[in-house]
Chain A
Amino acid sequence: MNKKYDAIVIGAGVIGTPIAYELAQMGYKTLTVDKLPDAGMGSTAASCAIVRAHYSTEDGVAMAYEGFKYWLDWENYLGNVKDEKGLAKFMNTGSILIKSQGHDWRKVKKNYDAVGVTYEEWSVEKIKEMVPAYDLHEFWPVRRPEDPTFFDESTRMLEGAIFCPEGGYVNDPELSAHNIMRAAETRGSEFIFNVEVVAIRDNGERVTGITLKDGTEYDAPVVVNVAGPHSYKINRMAKGVWEGCNIKTKALRHEVMHCSSPEGYDYLNDGYHTSDGDIGCYYRPEVGNMFLIGSEDPECDPQEWVDPDDFYAGKGGLGRDNQLTEAQWKAQSYRCARRVPTMTIPNQPRGVVDLYDCSDDWIPIYDKSDLPGFYMAIGTSGNQYKNAPVVGAVMAELVDKCEKGLDHDQDPLQFKLRHIGHPIDVGFFSRKREINYNSSFSVNG
């Protein structure tokens, strides 16, 4: 006899664990399976774990702002669980959105007003006062250092910034997933690691369970795909699911860089998370008084779509293929150094490489599927870490409502955000949607 559960979650990352946690709180007996040895060790571990509210849509802003409330109240969200590894910490640095041509900041401001996000408008003088290390010239358009005009002096100044005091980042994203796992376990959730799903079983009408590589079968009437960069591979295992998605996901290789903070600047303690569309970068403090520099995917940068199994097998070595490319190292560190000209750039590239699970329009898919009982929370496109606890709540309600007869495709679930009370049309994240051209088509979401 196969072991039976009410729901199986594939993937114990920062999105999978809260789904299991929320389902468990609704009374579902859940099993979460993961290929890796512990929770959060996949692409979650390499997330920059930025917590900011600026998104191009009102629902995007609302969801992210709702997420803030979870991170600010982490212990209570976890039911004050004890984790032997300690708790992840929300570093509430505040978040600067540079007003630039690279961000539709007017739309963000409008969305902030609609949702009720607390923010301040900063003039260039105010930014300079708060962050003397920033050079506030405008450098737009974003270019690569291979382009000789990259190094041109600028005589134009930026307009200012929108500052959101509640923003920041989480210091250890892997640990945050582990914390949620421990919380879920107190509600009876089970987790199995070092196992690989090779089949999604169905009885012709609905999903019935999963089969692991060693032949073990687990049965459940609900299976949720939260496999991160492997999401499309899991979807292809489930009958009709991949074909039934109008929006597809695939794995995108992405690099983030570490550069030392300028001498005399305690960036780790005094710095702010900054989204800087003017130079196509976002940056935040990192341990060791470093700048952690991410890319906002400017059009001039190449995209490298990879097979996640090849990537995690490592390129000629063990572990993930975590080697920065020289050209991208230069592009991102030089771009950030335009804003922070006293920042030093070592000769040896330093940083982290991992994969985004990217959808066609860079908006996630939080949905049911064409196979009854099979759900997905995929295509998080590098911008959903901050939303993870919210997604847990949304997905658990979606599963529960659909299992109780809701026709989500015809009559999409309207989810009321618990803390801020704002309603979300979950149909926005439908697999059946047409490509959303309002999206930024980047990590900005």
Chain B
Amino acid sequence: MKIFVCVKHVPDSAATIRIVEPNEIDETVTFLLNPYDENAVEAAVQLKSEDDDSEVIAVTVGKPAAADTLRSALAMGVDRGIHVITDHWPDSIVTARALKAAIVQDGDSGLILTGKATIDSEGFQTQFRLAAALDIPVATNVGAITRHDEGVIVTCGLEAGDEQVIRMAMPCVIGAAKTLNTPRYPTLPDIIKARKKAINEVEIESLGIESPDSQMEIVGLRPAVEARRKQIIDGPPREAVAELIRRLDEEVKIKLR
């Protein structure tokens, strides 16, 4: 079975993002494997360890520098990579079509994993568009996966802390949540091994993707400034902490006790 993991090359969440007018960011900051995609990679590698006949393939759509992110996935245990090269930041419609074309070109997929979101655009769309384009089921915010007959049973986190258990036929698309697993980080020998693994480079134009009727375009970027409401609690530490707990408890409604 082929397990595809869709990964994205995103700016480090710890980076100070500078906007380059009008609609780009300064790309000299560190870029890395989207953190939710790390959970998807880990899940794929774990599924493979239960099934010797499986192969895990990481797919990305991105600029040439995105090869680094594929190498990160390879170092975590992915077998090989497919890099759909583009000079632009495609929207989720084009990205989903490119992922579909690259996956179909590679062969029949058993399972497709993604992160539940990317930390740069946070569009929450690509996984659904990909499933729709392939006409297969999709579940997101997945915290547990078990193989079941010819399909999978997944547990999805809902708002308010509820969970939903879904049975899906395969192939299907699964959007990984942080709660799915703890991603393994590679050792240097893993990283060295990954340098020799194959990455198939595909120019996006060669995939013959149908141009969508309409497309999203980023016309401007603005920094998000969070307005903080600072409250200072004075007094001796013991009393100040008690007051802090009271406010968190009664005003913010966080149950600490």
The interface stretch among A194-202, A343-351, A416-424 is A343-351
Q: Are A344 and B16 interface neighbours, CB within 8 A?
A: no
Minimum Cβ distance to chain A for residue B41 (Å):
10
Among candidates B38, B189, B192, residue contacting A347 with C-beta atoms closer than 8 Å? B38
**Which of A220-228, A318-326, A354-362, A396-404 sits within the interface?**
A318-326
Q: How far is the CA of A346 from the CA of B186 in the complex (A)?
A: 7
**Contact A348 to B32, CB < 8 A, known contacts A317-B16, A341-B188:** yes
Cβ contacts A308-340/B at 8 Å (1 or 0 each)? 000000111100000111100100001001100
B13 interfacial contact with A, CB 8 Å: yes
Contact code string A288-324 (vs B, CB < 8 Å = 1, else 0) = 0000000000000000000000000011110000011
User: By the criterion CB–CB under 8 Å, are A345 and B186 in contact?
Assistant: yes
- Among A315, A317, A324, A344, the residue within 8 A (CB) of B185 is A344
A contact patch SS: loop
Quick check: A347 and B33 within 8 Å, CB to CB?
yes
Interface size on A, residues (CB 8 A): 24
Render B11-47 as a binary contact track against A, CB cut-off 8 A, 1 for contact: 0111111100000000001111101001000000000
Residues of A within 8 A of B17 (CB): 316
- Please name all residues of chain B whose beta carbon is closer than 8 Å to the beta carbon of A344 when the two chains form the complex: 184-187
In the bound complex, what is the Cα–Cα distance between A317 and B187 (angstroms)? 33
- Tell me which residues across on chain A come within 8 A of B15, comparing CB atoms: 323
A260 at interface (Cβ–Cβ under 8 A)? yes
Tell me if B93 counts as interface (CB < 8 A to partner A). no
In Å, the complex CA distance between A341 and B187 comes to 6
A348 CB contacts on chain B under 8 angstroms: 12-14, 32, 35
Give a binary string over B120-156; 1 marks a CB under 8 Å from any A CB, 0 the rest. 0000000000000000000000000000000000000
Residue B169 CB within 8 A of the other chain: no
- B199 is an interface residue with CB less than 8 A from chain A: no
Please report the C-alpha to C-alpha distance between residue A111 and residue B91 in the assembled complex, in whole angstroms: 65
A350 to chain B, nearest CB (A): 8
Contact B16 A314 (CB under 8 A): yes
In angstroms, how far is the closest chain B Cβ from the Cβ of A145? 9
Cβ of A92: which chain B residues have Cβ within 8 Å of it?
none
Annotate B183-206 by CB proximity to A: 1 below 8 A, 0 otherwise. 011111101100100000000000
Contact A329 B30 (CB under 8 A): yes
Which B residues are in CB contact (< 8 Å) with A315? 16
A326 to B31, CA, bound (A): 8
A265 to B14, CA, bound (A): 28
Q: Which residues of B contact A325 (CB under 8 A)?
A: 30
Q: Which chain B positions have C-beta within 8 A of A338?
A: 188
B118 at the interface (CB under 8 A from A): no
Interface residue B92 (Cβ < 8 Å from any Cβ of A): no
Q: Are B188 and A346 in contact (CB under 8 A)?
A: no
Is A342 an interface residue, CB under 8 A from the partner? Answer: yes
Judge if A193 is at the interface, Cβ distance under 8 Å.
no
A151 touches B187 (CB 8 A): no
The residue that A151 contacts in the complex, of B12, B31, B35, B195, with Cβ under 8 A, is B195
User: B14, B35, B186: which contacts A323 (Cβ < 8 A)?
Assistant: B14
Taken together as a complex, chains A and B put the C-alpha atoms of A323 and B33 apart, in Å, by 17
| CB under 8 Å from chain A, chain B span 204-220 | none
Decide: A337 and B188 in contact? CB cutoff 8 A. Answer: yes
Check B185–A345 contact: CB distance below 8 A. Answer: yes
Contact B30 A349 (CB under 8 A): yes
Query: A341 to chain B: which residues have CB within 8 Å?
Result: 187-189
B114 contacts partner chain A, Cβ-Cβ < 8 Å:
no
Nearest B residue (CB) for A336: B188
Bound CA span A325–B31, Å: 10
Contact A345 B30 (CB under 8 A): no
Report if A347-B14 is in contact (Cβ < 8 Å); known contacts: A323-B30, A341-B188: no
Q: Are B32 and A345 in contact (CB under 8 A)?
A: no
Q: Does B72 contact A (CB under 8 A)?
A: yes
Residues of A within 8 A of B72 (CB): 347
List chain A residues, Cβ under 8 A from B189: 341
Q: List which A111-139 residues lie within 8 A (CB) of chain B.
A: none
Closest to A330 in B: B191
Give A265 Cβ to nearest chain B Cβ, in Å.
12
| A348→B14 CA distance, assembly (Å) | 9
Q: Let me know if B187 and A345 touch, CB within 8 A.
A: yes
In whole angstroms, what is the CA distance A341 to B185 when docked? Answer: 13
Task: Report chain A residues within 8 Å CB of B191.
Answer: 334, 345
A82 to chain B, nearest CB (A): 15
A383-421 vs B, CB cutoff 8 Å, 1 = contact: the mask equals 000000000000000000000000000000000000000
By beta carbon, the residue of chain A nearest B184 is A344
- B187–A342 CB distance below 8 A: yes
Distance (whole angstroms) from the CB of B237 to the closest CB of chain A: 10
A338 to B192 CA separation, bound complex (whole angstroms)? 11
In contact, B29 and A151 (Cβ under 8 angstroms): no
B14, B16, B35 pick with most chain A CB within 10 angstroms: B16
Contact with B along A256-299 (1 / 0, CB 8 A): 00001010000000000000000000000000000000000000
7 contacts between A and B (CB under 8 A): A315-B16, A323-B30, A326-B31, A329-B30, A337-B187, A348-B12, A348-B14
Considering the complex of A and B, which 10 residue pairs feature the smallest CB-CB distances, nearest first?
Answer: A337-B188, A344-B185, A317-B16, A326-B30, A316-B18, A316-B16, A346-B185, A347-B32, A347-B72, A347-B33
Enumerate chain B interface residues (CB-CB to A < 8 A). Answer: 12-18, 29-33, 35, 38, 72, 184-189, 191-192, 195
For the complex with contacts A323-B15, A347-B72, A349-B32, 10 further pairs of A-B residues with Cβ separation under 8 Å are A151-B195, A262-B187, A316-B18, A329-B30, A334-B191, A337-B188, A345-B186, A347-B38, A347-B185, A348-B12
